[in-house]
Amino acid sequence: MPKVILITGTSTGLGVATAVQAAQAGHTVYATMRNTQKRDTLDAAAKVAGVTLNVLQLDVQDAASVNAAVDTVIAEQGRIDVLINNAGMGYVRSLEQAEESDIQKILDINYTGVARCIKAVMPHMRKARAGHVINISSVGGLVGQPFNEIYCGAKFAVEGLTEAMASYITPAFGIHFTAVEPGGIASEFANTVLEQVEQTGGMLEDEYLPILQKYISSSQNRQETGIYQSADEVAAIVMKVMGSEQPPVRARTSEWSEDFSKLKTGLDPDGLKQQSLVAEQFLK
């Protein structure tokens, strides 16, 4: 059955690929972005694929904007079957070096923005006793990584949000929650680390510099060896998760991300055992 899907952050990369693949599968897709003047990449991809997308403005940092987008979808379709929280922002800087305004921004976009969107769709999904919230997380939400403590902290929070809501909302109201955990997306990682460093003040001449240089070199090596996936490959995993009869609470998107996080996830790869254990401990 075709679904009504709301996706955030669809101006580039994974957001574009997911919106297009969902439309190709016959679903009604509302592709949103903070600035709709930056829709050229999305429109071009939709044209090549021969699909139609409904493009809306949605700024995850603005509750009024989020609510307006959700209200539009409900007014036009009467329901939202799937919310895909894809909007996000990377940040490469040690905590000691980080500006407090940057910390607040990263947390607001990557965590609070996710919560805002879920909060907006929940009344409609709860009324329908159905729905699926897919949060694009990261292996950085499972395993902390150098110079990513701000970003990883936000993604760890998304993982906790996903698990906590799945523990009681899924059995009570039939709404599923999944955190999708890519290990890296090639289209978005070429030069991204260097760009993020430059955007936050560039290379600082301090004791962190030699460590940062090792991190940047390692990131570039992983890019060159093909460890990172294409946006289309990750989007295909999102589509698979969305079509699952029993959606996982968490899903890695590649062999590398699975292997990298196995010490955290090996006993319960999809998170469903932990979900049941939490319910047994707290809801019986």
> Hey, is 157 helix, strand or coil?
helix
For residues 262 and 256, give the distance between their C-alpha atoms in angstroms, rounded to a whole number: 10
For residues 275 and 239, give the distance between their C-alpha atoms in angstroms, rounded to a whole number: 22
Are β-strands 28-33 and 82-85 bridged in parallel, bridged antiparallel, or unpaired? unpaired
The candidate with the shortest Cα–Cα distance to 170, out of 274, 29, 15, is 274
Q: Which letter does DSSP use for residue 87 in this model?
A: -
Retrieve residue 4's tokens: 């009504």
Kind and range of the H or E run holding 72: helix 63-77
Tell me if residue 151 is catalytic.
yes
* Active-site residue, selected from the candidate residues 30, 91, 111, 151: 151
Q: Which residues of 88-108 are buried (b: 16+ CB within 10 A; e: fewer)?
A: bbbbbbbeeebeeebbeebbb
Residues 134 and 146: beta-carbon distance below 8 Å: no
What radius of gyration do the chain's Cα atoms show?
A: 19
Q: Active-site residues: which are they?
A: 151
